[in-house]
Amino acid sequence: MNKRTTIRSAAALCALVLGVWLAVSWWNHSRPGSDRLILLVPDGASFSDPRVTVWLDAGSEEGLHVVPMHDSGFLSPFFGKPHCAGVILPDSIHQRASDLFVGELRRYTAAGGHLMLVYDAGTKSMQGFYAGGQSRLSDLAGAGYALYKDLGGAMIQSSEVSGATSMMDDLGVPPGKYFPFSKSAVSNAGEVQAQLRRYQYGSLEYPSFVTPGKYSGQVLLRSRAGVAAGVHPYGRGAVLFVNLPLASLAQNTDGLPLHAFLKYFAERVLSLPYLLPVPDGVGGIVLNWHIDSNAAIKSLQEVMTWSIIQQGPYSIDITAGPDAHEIGDGRGFDVLHNPVSQDLVHRVVQLGEEVGSHGGWVHDYFATHVDTDPPEQMAKFLELNKDALEQVAGKPVVEYSAPAGNQPEWVTHWLEAHGFVAYYFTGDTGLGPTQVYRDGHRTGQDIWAFPIVHLDRAASFEEMAKESLPLPDVEQWLDSLTDFVVSHRQVRLVYFHPPGILPYRQIVDDWLEKTAQLRQAGRFRWYTMAQIANFLNSRKKLTWKLTERNGLASLDADAPATLAHEAWRFPAKKYGKPVVIRGSAAITQDGDGWIVVAEEGKQLEVEARVSAQ
């Protein structure tokens, strides 16, 4: 090699070293994606596996950046450890883990990292065996668990899950999904204690590993097996240990626990900003009216004289055919031939309500046959109902509610193929609008489910009467639910049938006085399913990122059409008041958070000083 070649090689090497140094320097100081939550996935597993996508979809719906990463990327990233806010080791897909991987999790957390450790993650060796007398991650969790050697199959037990009502609220669980929620139910410790409850059945049991002994951390929820969830300090970091099969539950129409703990990890443990799921960041309620038959006409006429009709808009879903219980009984709402029914539809359309489809033409018949008869035979009832309502209402029908809550998957696919964007849902109860997973896979792409909220075992007013729930409890539930959507800036769905609401007029009137005051103050809105579904589909198209450099956080957002009405929340304990650098936005303080509401424009950049915590 001659001298000139040697000089060129040396220069090239210097340039490479300089380039790498500059890249590492930029990576370390700019910290792109500093709000990322890394979801660890075993090498060889696909990021499109539903056990992975259920986390990614939940993160998107909660306005967070959940990013999948294979274990090898976590162990050997290109520029040192990946910058992120926290790491998630999920259940179901990540039961196996190597000793090297477990050791790296310990080092990451001890050095100041934050880990969300879920249920059976890492409980088995790479060969598929439970390792030792307890999980190798027990020191991270703060409790011994996966005690296969001592307990065998009994190491997992199913039982009810309970916690303080203040913790239920911190987790984003709406009142009624936990019960009791009134301040009269006080434990010996002076805290209100409650259990997670199930619509219609009440008792709700979840599996969790037995965790004997004292938990060395803050207990969030308990079960008879021990700690159901808790936060445990580890070195300079911390671990959120969730002893519940979150992904497995979410894949089978119980997504609230996954959403609740993912949001808790981001908001309460890490103090991350997040994109809000409602327009302008204003929480509200979808009030879903179900009109089943001509038996609803008289009560509907009466309810339309109440103060309730002065607010709205509401989602009013109708079974439109001439029959109700059986074909030929003549007891249907009959929108095509009954002038009274037609007049009622015209009135609600003029008031700005959203007219939707309540099943297929014959309420009870459709409910009992939709999942037993061939779909091609039952689809004609959906078509008849949709076509009749569109003819009378004079506008497209884009939302749906299933009679008796009976909605097999083929119906959801039919709805989406025919322009529907939303439907009421009796699964995933207590959750906000979501894109549902059923039997391990997601159903639909741009159609949104609106799970019901309930008061213990009852959801509609007639169910509350059947359960003999005291009127003060119903009134307090409506008030508490309203406070919940306002404070959490989310939306929930309440449904009823007009005949069932009649005994509750005074309670409803009082409730509407409260919502009117909150509306006037700009803190509450009534929404329709269609409004929120269209907003959420638009929200999916925007892109945003958070970067940090030299103690300054920068949020950059872009949208193909407009960012108007999109909103973010910055925790005030971590961030100073955001300042608009580019674009247009309104910035206000709400308790312990800053609310950034984007105005017209396709781009927005705001900056906020990061405080030392």
pLDDT in tens, 94-115: 999 999 999 999 999 999 999 9
Q: What is the pLDDT of residues 418-442, one digit of tens each?
A: 999 999 999 999 999 999 999 999 9
Q: Which residues, listed in sequence order, are joined to residue 562 by a DSSP beta bridge?
A: none
Residue 611 pLDDT level (bands cut at 50, 70, 90): confident
How would you write 23-68 as a 3-class SS string?
Answer: HHHHHHHHCCCCCCEEEEECCCCCCCCHHHHHHHHHHHHCCCCEEE
Q: Is the pLDDT confidence value at 29 over 50?
A: no
Percent of the chain beyond pLDDT 90?
A: 89
Element (H, E) at 290: strand 284-291
| DSSP structure class, residue 194 | E
Amino acid at 456: D
pLDDT at 159: 96
Residue 488 pLDDT level (bands cut at 50, 70, 90): very high
Mean pLDDT of 39-58: 97
Question: pTM for this structure?
Answer: 0.93
Contacts of 276 (CB under 8 A, 6+ apart): 63, 489, 566, 567, 568, 569, 595
Residue 613 pLDDT level (bands cut at 50, 70, 90): low
pLDDT at 556: 98
Which range among 82-86, 166-170, 352-356 shows the weakest confidence by mean pLDDT?
82-86
Residue 53 pLDDT level (bands cut at 50, 70, 90): very high
Report the candidate in 177, 167, 162 with the shortest Cα–Cα distance to residue 255. 177
Residue 164 tokens read as 């303080």
pLDDT at 77: 62
Report the candidate in 428, 430, 514, 494 with the shortest Cα–Cα distance to residue 181. 430
SS3 255: coil
Q: What is the pLDDT of residues 301-316, one digit of tens each?
A: 999 999 999 999 999 9
Mean pLDDT of 113-120: 98
Using CA atoms, how far apart are residues 358 and 423, in angstroms rounded to an integer?
A: 10
